[in-house]
Structures are given as structure tokens and as C-alpha cells.
Structure 1
Amino acid sequence: MAVNWKLVIDSTNAPVLADFWAAALEYEVEDPSVLIEQLLAAGHLGQDAVIEHRGRKTFRGYAAIRHPEDPFDETSGIGRGRRLLFQDVPEAKTVKNRLHIDIHSEPGGLAALAARLEELGAVRVREVDKGPAGHWWVMNDPEGNEFCAT
């Protein structure tokens, strides 16, 4: 049996943060537009629960990304494997994350990885060099969530 999981991340702008992480991890942003159209047509969802982002309808306050090789439901766009779900919350981030993502580079490719992530909107916070034990950058995503480029 396959293990399917979803990591939920609080955000202030779920679609924008999903775009960043999809590009950073080479994942795909889920497209719930077919499901939304069905729910709107049936009267099960109001227009106030929907926004348009990058030309597609999505749920207000939510966006998800999935691994491109994992299966997904064609109607809902929801992945059935490795996923990150971003949900908007009213409060801003105030303390260090208790959980973070490490993005691994190819051998010798840390500088290029960190530069690519900066181009996507990440910020380098500090470089960590533990010699043979490892070398990485602590970075922040566009909303200040910590992660490491290793």
C-alpha cells in the first residue's frame, strides 16, 4: 500500500505561495477549476468562495501542489500522493517554523540551487558550513517560512 500524505502550510496568499513552492520543488499546482465549475453550477458553492488566479478558478484561501508523477483525481485536481496544501490564516507568521523543507541540489550544485530559489522569490538568511557534515543555506520563502537549500 502506498503512503499518501499532505503537509498543510499556513499562508497569507495561498495561490502565490503555491506557485513559489511548485516552481521550487518542480511540482504542479493543482487545478480544481472543473470541480469548482460543477459546484457553482449546482449551487453548492457561492462566487464568494472562488477567486481567479493565473486564468483558473480556485478556492479562496486555498491552493495545493502535487508531485507530477503521482496520480490525481481528474475532476477535483486533487493529488493522491505527495502534496502541499496552503491555507490562508488571519494571523501572520511570528516565530520560527517547527517543521521545514530541505531542497537538495545535485552534487556541487548548491550555489546554482540557491540562486534559482532567489529568482523565484526566496531570500538567503544564512550559510551553514559544517565541513564534512554538510553545507547548506537557510532561506525564507516569500512569506518568511524557513527552509534549507542543501
Structure 2
Amino acid sequence: MTLSWKLVIDSTNAPALADFWASALGYEVEDPGALIEQLLAAGHIGEEAIAEHRGRKTFRGYAAVRHPEDPFDATSGVGRGRRLLFQEVPEGKTGKNRLHIDVHSEPGASGGRDELVARLEGLGATRVREVNQGPAGHWWIMQDPEGNEFCVS
């Protein structure tokens, strides 16, 4: 059985948050340009449904990232595996996330977690607090550029 999924994350700036998470996870930002051109040509969508980000056409209010090794549809650019879809919503974040992403450093990597935390900060993440559970582990709670919590261990 092939497993495919997407986690949908509300945001205020979907393309910018997709850029952050693509860099953080080593994912690829999906490019729906070919699909957009087909839909425009067929009259299924109008220019008001389109935005531009980093020189590419995107669907206004949406952006997605996918795992680089997972299959994807060449026409639509949509991944058929592990994906994060960012959708813009009018309301801001008001409380703690009920679901979050855990990011793990490379096993055996020199500097490991500390280098990963520093790299994520360089991308725009913020450290919230350090958690030390003794034998259960040690990790950082961080926030992405829009304040969504995630853990780094």
C-alpha cells in the first residue's frame, strides 16, 4: 500500500512559510506553473486566482512543499507522497498548536542538534525554550516565522 499524506498548515503568507519549511526540511517547493497555464488557457480560472512568488506563478493563497524523493505529478507539480500545504487564512494564530512537526538532527552528525538549531534560526525560526527530560531526552521548542511551534531534537 502506498502511503501519501499532506499536513495542511494555516498561514498569513503561504509562499514565505513554504520557503522556510522547504529549507528547514530539505523539501522542494512545488511548482504548479504548468497546471496554472493549462487552467488559464481553458478558462477554468482567472488571473485573480494567480500570484507570483520568486518568479513563478502560484495559486493565490496556497503553496506546498514535498519530499524530494517522493513521486509527483509532472503536469501539476503536486507531490504524491509526504507534503506540507500552506493555506492563507484571515485570522492569526491564537493558541498553542495541537499538532506540530519534530525535526531531528542527522544521527551521528558533528554538532548535531546545536548546528540544526542555529541553521533553523538563520532561516527565521526562534528558540522558545529548552526541554531536558533526563533519560527521556533533550530538545528545543522553537517557532517558525509565523509562530507555529515545532521541536528540534
Settle same-fold status: TM greater than 0.5.
yes
Secondary structure of 2:45 counterpart: coil
Matched residue, 2:18: 18
* Aligned-partner residue type, residue 53 of structure 1: H
* Aligned-partner residue type, residue 35 of structure 1: L
Q: Can you list the C-alpha shifts for 1:42-89, whole angstroms capped at 9, x where unaligned?
A: 111111110000110000000000000000000100000000000000
Which of 99, 118, 123 pairs up with 2:121? 118
What RMSD, in angstroms, separates the aligned Cα atoms of the two structures?
0.8
Count of residue pairs brought into register by the alignment: 150
Secondary structure of 2:115 counterpart: helix
Matched residue, 2:60: 60
Q: Can you list the C-alpha shifts for 1:28-49, whole angstroms capped at 9, x where unaligned?
A: 0000000001111111111111
Matched residue, 1:139: 142
Taking only the aligned residue pairs, the percentage that are identical comes to 78
1:32-111 equivalent positions in 2, closer than 5 A: 32-106=32-106, 107=108, 108-111=111-114
How big is the shift at 1:129? 1.2
In structure 1, distance between residues paired with 2:61 and 2:137 = 37
* Aligned-partner residue type, residue 138 of structure 1: I
In structure 2, distance between residues paired with 1:3 and 1:39 = 28
Structure 1, 72-81 or 127-136: larger mean CA deviation:
127-136
Q: Can you list the C-alpha shifts for 1:5-33, whole angstroms capped at 9, x where unaligned?
A: 11000000000000000000000000000
* Aligned-partner residue type, residue 115 of structure 2: A
In structure 1, distance between residues paired with 2:36 and 2:125 = 31
In the alignment, structure 1 residue 2 sits paired with structure 2 residue 5: no
* Aligned-partner residue type, residue 35 of structure 2: L
The two structures have a TM-score, normalised by structure 1, of 0.98
> Runs of 5+ in structure 2 lacking a partner?
none
The two structures have a TM-score, normalised by structure 2, of 0.96
* Aligned-partner residue type, residue 122 of structure 2: E
* Aligned-partner residue type, residue 57 of structure 2: K
> Runs of 5+ in structure 1 lacking a partner?
none
How big is the shift at 1:131? 2.0
